[in-house]
Structure 1
Amino acid sequence: MVSVPLEPDMPDYAPALRYAWRVCSVTSLGMLLIGMSGSTLNVALPAVVRHFDAGPLASNWILLAYMLTNTATLVFFGRVSDLLGKREVYLVGFALFTAGSLLSGLAPDVGLLIALRAVQGLGAAMIIANGTLILTDAFPPDRLSQGMGFYFGVLSVAQLAGPTLGGLIADTLGWRWIFWINVPAGLFALLWGMFTLRRLPVSGPRQSLDGAGNLIVFAALSATLFAVSEGSLIAGLIALALVPVLVAAERRAVNPVLNFRLLSERVLLMANLATLCNAVARASLILLAGLYFQTARGADALAAGLGVLPVALGMGLGSPVSGTLGRRVGPYALALGGSVLCVAGLLILLLGSGPATPYWILAAGLFMTGCGSGTFLTGNTTQVMSGLPAENMGVVNAFRLMAMNTGVAVSVALTLGILTSAVSPELRSQVYAGTLSRLSPVALDQLMTGFWRTYAVLFGLAVLGTVFSALARAPRRGGTVVPDVS
């Protein structure tokens, strides 16, 4: 029997839509929690580094430990949710993230903080792996773009409030409250989710977990992040050597963590490559701009948080507006248009990457990039998810999330690696601590070279992502055609 989407005048449509928006409130809380956590720490990182007197390597991994565990376990927890239920794994993710946040604020040294950040990443992976699936299952197809627009709009709100809140907390209450602020929000999200979410049936037969594939992905991504952030040739060679090992292992796996058969469908391949490039190009922008204002201009954490607000304002405008427009212009046009806006914004930042550039120029570039990011995320996600048959939705969504989160992790590692490469090794810790502007003009000139190089690379990746977005047009109407990957 073929199921037909309910029309607005059918009696069951209104209750279904009300439930969908309640589900959206739960998943949006998850997005708020994760987005707020990342954006507050991006601005407050110098305060944490100064407290622990952390070196460049430890400073990098305060951010990268979270991103590594988050990215490497996304598909794993997607598989676990097939066994235990999406609702159950989603709620456990809230509990683990909240506990990790509480303990991170109590960390006595930077090593333990890095370990607890990895625990936070595990909880976030459970939340992210299931949030989009739960939302897609709840919304009628004709309203999915609106739900996605609101969902990613909340991320914009988190990134809007996060930098300012992070700067304010770091300057007044201290860095530990950067983590503790997540605790009441996480507890509320957990309770609201338990009350609201219905149990979802397990989709298809129970599937085994690809333990070997998960370990290889974790090792390869670890080596990649270390190679990019530290410029380690050995780590880069290890990462390259693990690629054929991963491909061979996944071809033999019954339920591979990375199903490379997805790459046989051109639309999915191009859309995921666009996701990867866009994430690398824009994900570290708040971190990069926050370091610019503190390191190059000598601003405090609060002033830096206010300085990066245009990024979140742009995302806050782009996501909901594009969600509404999605019912008229289609997700392909939104994804491509958003990608073009990102290119234009990064070009402004590239041309204006100097210590004396007027703030309004920087604000224009930050706002345009943020607006493009929000538009791209809404369009690209809807484009990939809206045409999927139920039996392929989980694996395709996991692949999409893996591409996006890999891009986010690589973006941070790449940004910090390129930025600090222009500064002499003995001064790199001053970049993370936000104190380099107090040193000699020569050191500041070196840092400005680092900012220019970083924006140049991010701009190039944004252009490449736009090319992939343009190639992601579906060959015919009726949604993306997906091969049988079950």
Structure 2
Amino acid sequence: MAAKNEGLNSTVRWTIASLSLSMLLSSLGTSIANVGLPTLAHSFNASFQQVQWVVLAYLLAITTLIVSVGRFGDMIGRRRLLLVGITLFTLASVLCAVAPTLWLLIAARAVQGFGAAIMMALTMAFVGEAVPKEKIGSAMGLLGTMSAVGTALGPSLGGVMIGGFGWRSIFFINLPLGLLTLVLAYRFLPVDRPASNTNRARFDHLGTILLALTLAAYALAMTIGRGNFGAINAALLFAALVGLGLFVFAEMRAKSPLIRMAMFRNSLLSGGFAMSTLVTAVVMATLVVGPFYLSGALGLDAAHVGLVMSSGPIVAALTGVPAGRVVDRFGAHSMSIAGLVGMLVGSSILPMLPTSFGIPGYIVPLVVITAGYALFQAANNTAVMTNIQADQRGVISGMLNLSRNLGLITGASLMGAVFAIGSATSNMMTASPDAVASGMRMTFTVAAVLIVIALYIAYLSHSLAPSDCDCASQTK
């Protein structure tokens, strides 16, 4: 019996290893390309606006498809689809590396983003299936750690590889990592349970198309124009609102909808999605505002700015696994509150500290915010994914990832706009140190308000939870 349990534990560990590598690759694919944009602009003799599509194509593919591929995995089998996603990501990485033109590179990045969407959507879904319930928090914390490691490792690894081997190497690096992930996933992921013919035959094509177009319109509205919200942005945002209305109408009439509207009646699910969007928008503020504040108000050079900025992802990487264990021990709801309180403390302290505190006056609140975020994410993911119906794990995992992506996109646009308003200048490169510091204070004051809203949602969703049925029944 002991040998059997040891074998089972070994299988679970290797399963988690394959899922962790999937999360690492997909997050690395986002961050590693950013550092290569100047080199790509020079290599292809292209403008910065053109090479930005190397990043944007990847982000758009993930945002528009992540819910759909989660639902598709629920229907045809998550193991089968995840293997396809890892293969697609790996092959697309090779196509990126050998692309002879910028537009072929952008097309390959979109395909790579499709594979990453599958990997992101299904990794958390597999945790609920392959990991014992009492260890789900630890597994979620590990996945959060790998995501943070990928985000933190991307710029430094990309810079080293571009300097030593050229820009194509930042995509070739995914080949050995992708093959290793594929072998582990094929060997250790649990075999798909057979699905009924009825479920196999039904896929919400109309809902999938409407959601993809709606999310694409919203993502473009929030990202194009480099922060200038013009007529094109307004038109895209209006199209997204119309698309959302059409999508909800179509889902309410569909026999087998992509997203069951009834799931939003469950306070734990809807609250979890909303809180995830809000807190991710706050984290994005540190990435958007941080470089301007450190260089403009504190006078740091680019190397020191990068060093200070890396402290956030490093803290997230170090606290992810311990945060998951704490969630397993003390419960998801109380640790969600604790994480949000930590983020509120950090977001409140940062605007109050004068610039005379220097680098420590920025790093200490940033560490508090990031550690709180790691704890919240582990707790929130555990709360959402623990008690849901088995055939809905993929789509709900996709919704969780979508909420984070929407938080990143909205946070970059919203917090950037708040920072510009607070600085009272249209050109951040020529703004005075006092103006930059004023913009930072306004930005994190707004961030603190967003965390207060998230805390209220946490209280409300938990207080309404006893009147709900369990999550499984709410997603039927």
Normalized against structure 1, the TM-score is what?
0.83
Task: Write the distance in 2 (CA, Å) between the matches of 1:216 and 1:96.
Answer: 24
* Equivalent residue, structure 1, for 2:452: 463
CA 1:99–1:288: 2 relative to 1, 3 Å: farther
Q: Secondary structure at the match of 1:258?
A: coil
Task: Write the distance in 2 (CA, Å) between the matches of 1:137 and 1:47.
Answer: 43
Alignment of 1:414-429 (within 5 A): 414-415=414-415
- Which residue identity does 1:340 align to in structure 2? V
Alpha carbons 1:308, 1:366 under 8 Å: kept: no
* Equivalent residue, structure 2, for 1:101: 93
* Equivalent residue, structure 1, for 2:109: 117
Q: Once the 2 structures are TM-superposed, how far is the Cα of residue 155 of structure 1 from its aligned partner?
A: 2.2
CA RMSD of aligned residues (A): 3.4
- Which residue identity does 1:381 align to in structure 2? N
* Equivalent residue, structure 2, for 1:336: 337
Task: Write the distance in 1 (CA, Å) between the matches of 2:56 and 2:269.
Answer: 28
Alignment of 1:210-359 (within 5 A): 210-229=204-223, 230=225, 231=229, 232-283=233-284, 285-286=286-287, 289=290, 297=299, 299-300=301-302, 303-351=304-352, 358-359=358-359
- Which residue identity does 1:483 align to in structure 2? S
* Equivalent residue, structure 2, for 1:195: 187
Alignment of 1:135-214 (within 5 A): 135-202=127-194, 205-206=199-200, 208-214=202-208
Task: Write the distance in 1 (CA, Å) between the matches of 2:285 and 2:36.
Answer: 14
* Equivalent residue, structure 1, for 2:22: 30
Q: Which moved more, 1:110-119 or 1:243-252?
A: 110-119
Give unpaired runs (5+ residues) of structure 2: none
Alpha carbons 1:39, 1:158 under 8 Å: kept: yes
* Equivalent residue, structure 2, for 1:383: 383
Q: Once the 2 structures are TM-superposed, how far is the Cα of residue 38 of structure 1 from its aligned partner?
A: 2.4
Alpha carbons 2:265, 2:474 under 8 Å: kept: no
Task: Write the distance in 1 (CA, Å) between the matches of 2:242 and 2:273.
Answer: 23
Alpha carbons 1:167, 1:305 under 8 Å: kept: no
Q: Once the 2 structures are TM-superposed, how far is the Cα of residue 122 of structure 1 from its aligned partner?
A: 0.3
CA shift digits 1:412-441 (9 cap, x unpaired)? 44456666787988x6xxx8xxxx4xxxx4
Give unpaired runs (5+ residues) of structure 1: 1-8
Q: Secondary structure at the match of 1:199?
A: coil
Aligned length: 464
Normalized against structure 2, the TM-score is what?
0.84
Alpha carbons 1:225, 1:413 under 8 Å: kept: no
Alpha carbons 2:221, 2:236 under 8 Å: kept: yes
- Which residue identity does 1:273 align to in structure 2? A
Q: Secondary structure at the match of 2:461?
A: coil
Q: Once the 2 structures are TM-superposed, how far is the Cα of residue 239 of structure 1 from its aligned partner?
A: 1.8
- Which residue identity does 2:398 align to in structure 1? A
CA shift digits 1:458-477 (9 cap, x unpaired)? 44433322322233326349
Alpha carbons 2:32, 2:170 under 8 Å: kept: yes
Q: Secondary structure at the match of 2:462?
A: coil
Q: Secondary structure at the match of 1:472?
A: helix
> Counting helix residues as a fraction of each chain, which structure ranks higher?
2
CA shift digits 1:241-272 (9 cap, x unpaired)? 22211111111122222322111112222121
Q: Secondary structure at the match of 1:315?
A: helix
* Equivalent residue, structure 2, for 1:5: none
- Which residue identity does 1:166 align to in structure 2? G
CA 1:381–1:480: 2 relative to 1, 3 Å: farther
* Equivalent residue, structure 2, for 1:368: 368
CA shift digits 1:205-249 (9 cap, x unpaired)? 325222221222222222222322331222222222222111111
